[in-house]
Amino acid sequence: MDPQMMTSMFDDVERVLVSEQEIHERIVALADEMNAIYSDADLPILVCILKGAFMFLADLTRHLQFRHEVDFMEISSYGAGTTSSGVVRILLDLASSVDGRHVVIVEDIVDTGHTLDYILRNFAARNPASVRVATLLNKPSRREIEVPVDFVGFEIPNAFVMGYGLDYAEQYRNVPYIGVLKPEVYQEGTED
Ligand code: PRP
């Protein structure tokens, strides 16, 4: 067998930054914050920003006690490398209208803030009743543009994180915790 085939993707993880248990407990607490704000009558739409937020949305929604809908939007930054280029595009738009609706943007990470800034400006033009933002991870030290964030799971340092929906070169999204990738893994390649 090719020796490459015998290595595990877990060998590429330098360390665990946020464990499965910590993620679970924090999501339950975040859901409680949201349960205190929204009611059935609000019927908010949770907008999952694909791809990175799919796992966060799936776990968060199970702990919400008010009626809500979910919808999906795929956003990507142009450019290669491990950092956002600041140029953002919509790959998949919402199925539903948010006109007059309460919206919760669900993100996996806010880094430079360019993606969220783009999303918020885009939503402002769609005439929602309100917009709040939930992000599992926040890297405030990396911010290049000020963006409002209402629900934050974890503030993290400027490390290259992956797992729990977050990728490197489209891999590692299935890792069940937030890990820090070994530098040699992403220094070998240039893909986002
Ligand atoms: C990631 C993440 C955010 C964005 C944050 O998306 O999901 O949307 O980058 O970076 P910023 O604050 O510097 O703009 P990515 O473009 O990697 O797409 P993905 O979610 O499909 O992996």
Average pLDDT over residues 24-33: 98
User: From the CB of 51, is ligand 1 less than 6 Å away?
Assistant: yes
pLDDT digits (tens, 9 = 90+) for 31-61: 999 999 999 999 999 999 999 999 999 999 9
Share of the chain above pLDDT 90, in %: 85
Q: What is the pLDDT of residue 67?
A: 98
Residue 56 φ/ψ, nearest 5 degrees? -60, -50
Among 47, 72, 75, 88, the mutation site with the greatest number of ligand 1 atoms within 8 A of its Cβ is 75
Distance between CA atoms of residues 110 and 82, nearest Å: 14
Q: What is the 106 CA–ligand 1 centroid distance (Å)?
A: 12
- pLDDT at position 120 over 80: yes
Mean per-residue pLDDT of the chain: 93
For residue 2, report the distance from its CA to the centre of ligand 1, in Å: 34
pLDDT of residue 79: 53
Q: Which residues contact 145 (CB under 8 A, 6 or more apart)?
A: 112, 113, 114, 117
* Residue 87, C-beta contacts closer than 8 angstroms, at least 6 positions apart: 77, 78, 79, 114
At 180, give phi and psi (nearest 5°): -105, 125
- Evaluate if residue 90 carries a pLDDT over 60: yes
Task: Convert the pLDDT of each residue in 130-165 to its tens digit.
Answer: 999 999 999 999 999 999 999 999 999 999 999 999
